[in-house]
Amino acid sequence: MCRITGFIDFDYRGNYSVEDVIVSMRDTMAYGGPDDSGIYIEKEKGLALGHRRLSILDLSNLGHQPMRNDSGNIWLTYNGEIYNFKEIKTELEANGHQFKSTSDTEVLLKAYEQWGIEAVHRFRGMWAFAIWDKRKEALILCRDRAGVKPLFWYLKDGIFIFSSELKALHKHPRFVKKLDRNALSLYLKRGYIAAPDSIFEYVHKLEPGSYLEINKKGQIKKAPYWDIADYYAKGAADKKKWLARPEEEIAGQLEDILTDSFKLRLVADVPVGVFLSGGIDSSLVSALLQKESTNPIKTFTIGFHEDKFNEARWAKGVADYLGTDHTELYCAPQDVLKIIPQLPELYDEPIGDSSAIPTHLVSCLAKQKVKVSLSADGGDELFCGYNTYLYYGRILNIINHIPRGMRSSISGILNRINPDSLAGLYKKGGRFLPPQENVGMKFLKFRKLLKSDSLHEEYLNQVAYFTDEELAGLVIYPFHKTPSGKTYQPYLDQITNLMFSDFVSYLPDDLLVKVDRATMAVALEGREPFLDNKVTEYASQLPLEYKYKSGVTKYILKKILYRHIPKRFFNRPKHGFSVPIGKWGREKLRGLYQEYLNKERIEREGIFNAEAVHNLLSKHMRNEEAFSSKLWPIFSFQLWKEKWLN
């Protein structure tokens, strides 16, 4: 795990020092690669590659990067891990290649030399790499299938720059920094900016499962080499065959694939641990790994003193049952206050996900004992784990029993009901009604869904922080409404389409960004065993009936998990990894909110409607919980803006 950067200046005339610039760019990310550093330069071409190393495999200097092949005509700077590198190495040796190191970096380099970019089809792992191929004077960038590792690129006026993080781009004298306001609108809607866009104009994220080649004329070719949609399509075509197979056979086969993937993520020459939340996915990772280990594996958990948000007690129960070497840390508002000033440095593109804070805290905790930690991201998207899927599944079941001709009539009746009044009546019902949060908001969602022709569009709207209509009143610049684009596949059932949408957008551009920056900030390698291509390709072909059955989400995963951990540990509602940001915002963070969101400042900066922000802040301070989630992305952007634009 490392950090990479580089550039080609097609108009270089010796007007700046290539060496000074690449070193400066590289060392903005020194925290992510504290063990070694290197550069490669071809000054006459205006070419430079930079690398910061976090040593995980082959800790010797034989793993130094940028790395060259034996002929010196191919150079590589690489961030990631190829977990099956030993079997690829054996194949390369059979083709006559010799190796100086025991690193996966040298295997990647010689695999490219042997097979070109097609080598990526042999890799199981995570990666972002850049290869300078002198034979054809081309620079090739590539990103792993699921988008675990980040890779930004910039092209304007004859200068091409790439980097693991945006902050490195700022150090190049020819980088033009200009806020992309349409991307800002994307951020405000989702809390993140989906690839290929970024917060700056002319800066792009290389899409997961894609490679990019720029030739000596500055011409770019970009193409996908892997697409999970292909496997969803295959599964849809073979659905009857899947459903004809015994359920126990499916569960056994899936457990074998998961175990293989999880064990592969233990490949390292340094200590390895697991982030354990106590939920289904991380508990399954811990259970299968502990089953294979003769020693207690190390597990780490963050807890909250607020009971509603605290899953640490469940994680401890799982850890005690499995016999892991468990460490936990309870997060308090004063911990958040310490981290908030660091957020713009850690996340040099705005991120509206407040769970970035505990993710950083658990990374700091794990770093005290290990250099690599596994997390369980991807399980929800692949196996139907989110509460929203369950909610929409139940709503769809109701709607599908209402004749289409009657839906508009019922919707018209519901339009006459005030959501706030309904919430008030529900509250007065007290102990005679089952507990519910945000009753008014849920009523509005049901009402809209009832008259909508597209569950997918409604889902995207309802998981957004702001609708397009709300954005029009929040920002003081025109913006383009966001199409659903690649996040919809017409051949999939409605719930599977929601999972697909989250896998290709929310997962790589929010969750994986959050984990990558939080771990790398403390020189900890994060690994994602659910995102092994063998797992994703199998899971995406499984029919929904194996994932959502009789009102149970993650059905097949739970079937596997309960073989190893009793069901009683999981008989509780799913919390998710969230923080009490509403409560903290009204108490310990109140001063910061008032500093960054005051009307005079907002008016002066000329991006947001000051009155709209003031109204949100007022509602938040009045303990209207629904507005706390809307306020955090604005506050987070204000922090980022002060660091990177002012």
d(CA 411, CA 395): 14
3-state helix, strand, coil in the chain (%, to 5): 50, 15, 35
Q: For the structural domain made of 2-226, what CATH number should be given?
A: 3.60.20.10
Separation CA 475–CA 175 (nearest Å): 27
d(CA 545, CA 161): 46
Apex CA 261: angle with CA 522 and CA 101, to 5°? 65
Q: Percent of the chain at pLDDT above 70?
A: 90
The pLDDT tens digits for 434-474 are 545 556 666 666 777 776 666 777 777 778 888 888 899 99
Instruction: Judge residue 135's burial from the number of C-beta atoms within 10 Å of its C-beta, 0-12 exposed, 13-18 middle, 19 or more buried.
Output: exposed
- Quote the CA–CA distance of 132 and 255 in Å, as a whole number: 40
> At a CB cut-off of 8 Å and minimum separation 6, what does 548 contact?
384, 389, 390, 393, 495, 555
**What pLDDT score does 484 carry?**
47
Statement: residue 423 has pLDDT above 70? no
Report the SS3 class of residue 509. helix
Of 94-108, 203-217, 259-273, least confident by mean pLDDT is 259-273
Q: What is the pLDDT of residue 306?
A: 67
For the segment 327-336, what is each residue's pLDDT rounded down to a tens digit?
Answer: 998 877 778 7
Lowest mean pLDDT among 193-202, 332-341, 541-550: 332-341
Q: Choose which CATH entry (3.40.50.620, 3.40.50.1000, 3.60.10.10, 3.30.70.2190) describes domain 229-384+499-570.
A: 3.40.50.620
Residue 504's pLDDT band, with cuts at 50, 70 and 90, is very high
Q: Report helix, strand or coil for 344.
A: helix
- Mean pLDDT of the region 31-44: 95
The whole-number average pLDDT for the span 6-22 is: 97
pLDDT, greater one: 23 or 622: 23
Q: Chain centroid to CA 348: how far?
A: 15
Instruction: Work out the average pLDDT over 206-226.
Output: 97
Burial class (CB in 10 A: 0-12, 13-18, 19+), 98: exposed
Indicate the SS3 state at residue 245: coil
Task: Give DSSP secondary structure letters for 260-325.
Answer: HHHHHTT--SS-EEEE--SSHHHHHHHHHHHHH-SSPPEEEEEEESSGGG--HHHHHHHHHHHT-E
Domain ranges within the chain, ordered by starting residue: 2-226, 229-384+499-570, 387-468+479-495, 581-644
pLDDT (0 to 100) of residue 331 = 79
Provide the 3-class DSSP secondary structure of residue 36.
strand
Distance separating alpha carbons of residues 615 and 602, to the nearest angstrom: 13
Please provide the DSSP assignment of 530-551 as one string.
GGSHHHHHHHHHS-GGGTSBTT
Q: How far apart are CA 500 and CA 488, in angstroms?
A: 7
Amino acid at 260: D
CA–CA distance, 322 with 329 (Å, rounded to integer) = 19
Place of tokens 């950083």: 360
Q: What is the pLDDT of residue 440?
A: 63
Report pLDDT for 65.
Answer: 95
pLDDT tens-digit series, residues 547-580 = 999 889 999 999 999 999 999 999 876 655 566 6
CA distance 75 to 69: 7
Average pLDDT over the chain reads 90
What is the mean predicted confidence (pLDDT) over 13-29? 97
Report how far residue 223's alpha carbon sits from residue 305's, in angstroms, rounded to the nearest whole number: 48
DSSP state of 482: P
Band of pLDDT at residue 481, cut at 50, 70 and 90: low
| Residues 285-329 pLDDT 10s | 999 999 988 899 999 998 877 666 667 888 999 999 999 999 998
DSSP bridge partners of 129: 78, 142
pLDDT value at 186 more than 60 = yes
Q: Which of 127, 93, 138, 130 is nearest to 111 (CA)?
A: 93
Active site residues: 2
Which residues are CB-neighbours of 199 under 8 A, at least 6 positions away? 166, 179, 180, 183, 184, 187, 193, 349, 350, 640
Mean local confidence (pLDDT), 116-141 = 98
Q: Which of 576, 575, 552 is nearest to 562 (CA)?
A: 552
